[in-house]
Amino acid sequence: MSTEALVSVYFSTGTLTGLPAGHFIDGAFVAAAGNRTMETFDPGSARAFHAFAAGDESDVDRAVAAARKAQRDWGRTKAGVRGAILFRAAQIIRAEAARLAVVESLDSGKALQEAEGDVAGAARCLEYYAGAADKIQGDTFPLGPDYIGYSIEEPVGVTGHIIPWNYPLSTAARSIAPALAAGCTVVAKPAEQTPLTALMLADILHRAGLPAGVCNVVTGTGAEAGGPLVSHPDVRHITFTGSVPTGIRVMQSAAVNVTSVVLELGGKSPVIVMADADLDVAVEGVLGAIYENAGQICSAGSRLVVERGVHADLVERIAARAGALKIGHGLRRPQIGALSSAAHLDKVAGYVDGARERGITVAAGGRRATDPDTGTGWFFEPTILDAVKAEDPVIQEEIFGPVLSVQVVDGEEEAVAIANGTDFGLVAGIYTSDFGRAHRMARDIDAGQIFINEYFAGGIEVPFGGNKLSGFGREKGFAALRSYTRTKSLAAKIS
């Protein structure tokens, strides 16, 4: 069915047929052990459109047992065969892209064109790690003529994946693909707000030839399903994407079993615009950095650090553009989609209301909104808070919405100091025409990834992850594979 047909069906019926309702365990969709269900909501209309399995510890135990049983054979499957399965799964994703994108937009509230980009990115991710599967190799050691020394990279075993609600499919693919390429088995727990495309991905992988039990998905709340997964003694690695407080609890739970962890947590990333920057390019970069996915991105450029000489001009231009952005239901392809939930909308609005009460200038937006076609949904206007002091909560704390906070600086040294002036260190953007300055600033900024003259530059090939409270470990690129392998060293005397 085409994208247009799927959208038409949804708006006429309020749902789509054939959506997954059970966990995906041991190669099949199965009901929750207690037969409990919960609802998933369309943020663009603020109404439920589907029910899915509400899992608990017993469901996690089933999934982990299936993954553990499948681990030996999958870990010994030829790397080229593993890669071929991932590549076939990428082809299926591309063939079924319309349905995946519509479901992703419905479940998360994001604009359909953004969901289409996420689906294409998930397919590219599987293709990348399909090609990487047979490139994972050990090394040899120069022990002299009487010895042979070498290492083997082995899969770590069963891996747990906690997937966030802001990029459900692409984040699932980002960690599941390298785990499978390395020969690990998987138990994933998607966010309860957005469970559907992770389930669809597991089914696609199985149809592509992945043996039963190698990739399992358990749905439910973080407390009832996520907690038992990260504390399970048979899970040997956890990849978590989410908030700092939850990430700390994940690490504490994993520590009991000495389980390794990758944490991709929050951010308060600066976009630095120096006076010599191409302002036309900078305006586009800033708009995309903060308003894509309604600002619900860990690496969103939520702070504009701008040199005083161009501050007024730049803010005026960005404010004019922000005020013209179209808000609406994701399936109608707006420029700004919905926020994920009523509770999250309250959080974002609370930050802006507090800033207004403290006398901060609201240069654009600043109010709740609804879908103009229906008067429903969880929306917030694209917002700019101007000339904010460094210690203010909207500078120091992650809002995770379409809210840009502006900080004015005088020169390169102050720009770097302000950029480093939070407890986060995920990414940073730099706009300048001075190549040397760009790289000096990139050297001195404490962040896991730096963009120069284009925010969100790069792709699956570029390692991604944070410093400080933004977490540790890296996803994407070949660096991600290190989380899913362990080195075994061998030395033999041959004389």
Query: Structure tokens of 128?
Result: 């990348």
Query: Max alpha carbon distance in the chain (Å)?
Result: 82
Catalytic residue among 192, 292, 298, 475: 298
Tokens of 223: 């407390």
User: Could you tell me the CA-to-CA distances from 193 to 135, 244, 321, 470 in Å, in that order?
Assistant: 36, 18, 30, 22
Look up 298 and say whether it is catalytic: yes
Residue with tokens 């076609």: 373
Which of 264, 292, 307, 398 is labelled catalytic? Answer: 264
**What end-to-end distance do the CA atoms of the chain give, in Å?**
68
Query: Checking DSSP bridges between strand 361-364 and strand 303-307, what pairing results, if any?
Result: unpaired
- DSSP code, position 225: I
| Residue 237, both tokens | 């690695």
The gap from C-alpha 196 to its chain's centroid, in whole angstroms, comes to 15
Residue 412 CB neighbours (<10 A): 17
The region, left, alpha or beta by phi > 0 then psi within -120 to 50, assigned to residue 397 is beta
Whose CA is closest to 376, among 16, 47, 15, 9?
47
Closest CA to 287 of 383, 414, 181: 383
Active site residue 125: no
The residues assigned a catalytic role are: 264, 298
